[in-house]
Amino acid sequence: MKLFEPLDIKGMVLPNRIMVPAMVTRLADEQGAVNQDVIDRYVRYAKGGSGLIVVEAMAVHQSKAGQLLRINDDDKIPGLTELVRRVHDTSDSKIVPQIIHFMKVSLSGWRQTVDMLSIEDIDLIVEQFGDAVRRARQAGFDGAEIHGAHAYTLASFFSRRNTRKEDPYEGQSLEGRLHLIGRVMENIRGKVGHDFPVGIRINADEFIRDGYTVGDAKLIALRLAQLGFDYLSLSVGGKFEDAEHVPGTVFFPYTGYSGDRCMPPAWYPPAPNVHLAAEIKAFLNANGHHLPVAGAGKLDEPDVAESVLAEGKMDFVGLARGLLADPDWPNKVRKGEIDRLVKCDYCNVCKHLAGTHNKVNCFLWPKGAIQAPADQPAAGAPSWGPDKGGLSLTMQNGSAVLTWKKVPGAARYDVYRADDDGKVHVEDAVKVTRWVDGGILAGMRYRYYVRACSDTGQTSTPSNSVVIEPQMPAAVLASQSVHSAA
Amino acid sequence: MKLFEPLDIKGMVLPNRIMVPAMVTRLADEQGAVNQDVIDRYVRYAKGGSGLIVVEAMAVHQSKAGQLLRINDDDKIPGLTELVRRVHDTSDSKIVPQIIHFMKVSLSGWRQTVDMLSIEDIDLIVEQFGDAVRRARQAGFDGAEIHGAHAYTLASFFSRRNTRKEDPYEGQSLEGRLHLIGRVMENIRGKVGHDFPVGIRINADEFIRDGYTVGDAKLIALRLAQLGFDYLSLSVGGKFEDAEHVPGTVFFPYTGYSGDRCMPPAWYPPAPNVHLAAEIKAFLNANGHHLPVAGAGKLDEPDVAESVLAEGKMDFVGLARGLLADPDWPNKVRKGEIDRLVKCDYCNVCKHLAGTHNKVNCFLWPKGAIQAPADQPAAGAPSWGPDKGGLSLTMQNGSAVLTWKKVPGAARYDVYRADDDGKVHVEDAVKVTRWVDGGILAGMRYRYYVRACSDTGQTSTPSNSVVIEPQMPAAVLASQSVHSAA
Residue A485 pLDDT: 59
- Check whether A378 has a pLDDT greater than 90: no
Mean pLDDT score of chain A? 95
Residue A7 pLDDT: 98
- Check whether B429 has a pLDDT greater than 90: yes
User: Distance between the two ends of chain B, CA-based, in angstroms?
Assistant: 52
- Distances from the Cα of A206 to the Cαs of A224, A259, B264, in angstroms? 17, 10, 14
pLDDT, mean of residues B322-328: 97
Give the one of A175, A269, A486 whose C-beta lies nearest to B442's C-beta.
A175
Residue A431, beta-bridge partner list: none
B215 touches A: beta carbon within 8 Å: yes
Query: Could you report the per-residue pLDDT of A18-27, keeping only the tens digit for each?
Result: 999 999 999 9
Chain B residue with the nearest C-alpha to that of A205:
B268
| Paired sense of beta strands A231-235 and B94-100, if any | unpaired
A223 touches B: beta carbon within 8 Å: yes
pLDDT, mean of residues B350-363: 95
- Distances from the Cα of A65 to the Cαs of A27, A321, B85, in angstroms? 13, 22, 67
pLDDT, mean of residues A124-143: 98
- Distances from the Cα of B387 to the Cαs of A278, B384, B390, B464, in angstroms? 44, 7, 5, 8
Query: Could you report the per-residue pLDDT of A268-312, keeping only the tens digit for each?
Result: 999 999 999 999 999 999 999 999 999 999 999 999 999 999 999
Query: Could you report the per-residue pLDDT of B3-13, keeping only the tens digit for each?
Result: 999 999 999 99
Query: Could you report the per-residue pLDDT of A443-454, keeping only the tens digit for each?
Result: 999 999 999 998
Q: At what angle do helices B179-192 and A474-485 cross, to 10 degrees?
A: 40
CA distance B252 to B150: 11
Query: Contacts of residue A287 in chain B, CB cutoff 8 Å?
Result: 420, 443
| Paired sense of beta strands B144-148 and B94-100, if any | parallel
Query: Could you report the per-residue pLDDT of B438-462, keeping only the tens digit for each?
Result: 999 999 999 999 999 998 778 999 9
Query: Could you report the per-residue pLDDT of A418-442, keeping only the tens digit for each?
Result: 998 678 888 999 999 999 999 999 9
- Check whether A486 has a pLDDT greater than 80: no
**Closest-CA distance of chain B to residue A40, Å:** 34
Q: At what angle do helices B77-90 and B36-48 cross, to 10 degrees?
A: 30
- CB contact under 8 Å between B215 and A269, yes or no, is yes
Nearest to A157 by CA among A110, A106, A212: A212
Q: Are B10 and B197 in contact (CB under 8 A)?
A: yes
Dihedrals phi, psi of B423, to nearest 5 degrees:
-75, 135
Query: Contacts of residue A222 in chain B, CB cutoff 8 Å?
Result: 441, 443-444
- Check whether A390 has a pLDDT greater than 80: yes
> Which one-letter DSSP state was computed for residue A76?
G
User: Distance between the two ends of chain A, CA-based, in angstroms?
Assistant: 52
Residue A420 pLDDT: 84
CA A270 to chain centre: 13
pLDDT, mean of residues B40-68: 95
CB atoms within 10 A of CB B448: 25
Q: Are B460 and B451 in contact (CB under 8 A)?
A: yes
Chain B residue with the nearest C-alpha to that of A471:
B175
pLDDT, mean of residues B270-292: 97
Structure confidence at residue A63 as a pLDDT band (50, 70, 90): confident
Amino acid letter, A400: A
Query: Contacts of residue A252 in chain B, CB cutoff 8 Å?
Result: none
Give the one of A208, A215, A275 whose C-beta lies nearest to B268's C-beta.
A215
**What is the predicted ipTM?**
0.94
> Which one-letter DSSP state was computed for residue A375?
P
Contact residues for A382 (Cβ-Cβ < 8 A; gap 6+): A407, A408, A409, A410, A452, A453, A454, A458, A459, A460
pLDDT, mean of residues A388-401: 95
Residue A122 pLDDT: 98
Query: Contacts of residue B441 in chain A, CB cutoff 8 Å?
Result: 174-175, 178, 219, 222-223
> Which residues 152-211 of A are in CB contact (within 8 Å) with B?
160, 166, 168, 170, 172-176, 178-179, 182-183, 185-186, 189, 194, 207-211
Amino acid letter, B416: Y
Domain architecture of chain B: domains with CATH: 2-355 (3.20.20.70), 392-468 (2.60.40.10)
Query: Contacts of residue A185 in chain B, CB cutoff 8 Å?
Result: 475, 479
**Closest-CA distance of chain B to residue A358, Å:** 23
Residue B485 pLDDT: 59
Residue A471 pLDDT: 93
Residue B403, beta-bridge partner list: B392, B434
Residue B421 pLDDT: 67
Residue B30 pLDDT: 85
Query: Could you report the per-residue pLDDT of B161-193, keeping only the tens digit for each?
Result: 999 999 999 999 999 999 999 999 999 999 999
CA distance A313 to B273: 19
Q: Are A165 and A219 in contact (CB under 8 A)?
A: no
Query: Could you report the per-residue pLDDT of B207-257, keeping only the tens digit for each?
Result: 999 999 999 999 999 999 999 999 999 999 999 999 999 888 888 999 999
H or E element, residue A59: strand A52-59
- Per residue, the 3-state secondary structure of chain B, as one string, reads CHHHCCEEECCEEECCCEEECCCCCCCCCCCCCCCHHHHHHHHHHHHHCCCEEEEEEEECCCCCCCCCEECCCHHHHHHHHHHHHHHHHHCCCEEEEEEECCCCECCCCCECCHHHCCHHHHHHHHHHHHHHHHHHHHCCCCCEEEEECCCCHHHHHHCCCCCCCCCCCCCCCHHHHCHHHHHHHHHHHHHHCCCCCEEEEEECCCCCCCCCCHHHHHHHHHHHHHCCCCEEEEECCCCCCCCCCCCCCCCCCCCCHHHHHHCCCCCCCCCCCHHHHHHHHHHHHHCCCCCCEEEECCCCCHHHHHHHHHCCCCCEEECCHHHHHCCCHHHHHHCCCHHHCCCCCCCCHHHHHHHCCCCCCCCCCCCCCCCCCCCCCCCCCCCCCCCCCCCEEEEECCEEEEECCCCCCCCEEEEEEECCCCCEEEEEEECCCEEEECCCCECECEEEEEEEECCCCCECCCCCCEEECCCCCHHHHHHHHHHHHC
- Check whether B486 has a pLDDT greater than 60: no
Query: Could you report the per-residue pLDDT of B359-406, keeping only the tens digit for each?
Result: 999 999 998 999 999 998 877 889 998 999 999 999 998 999 999 999
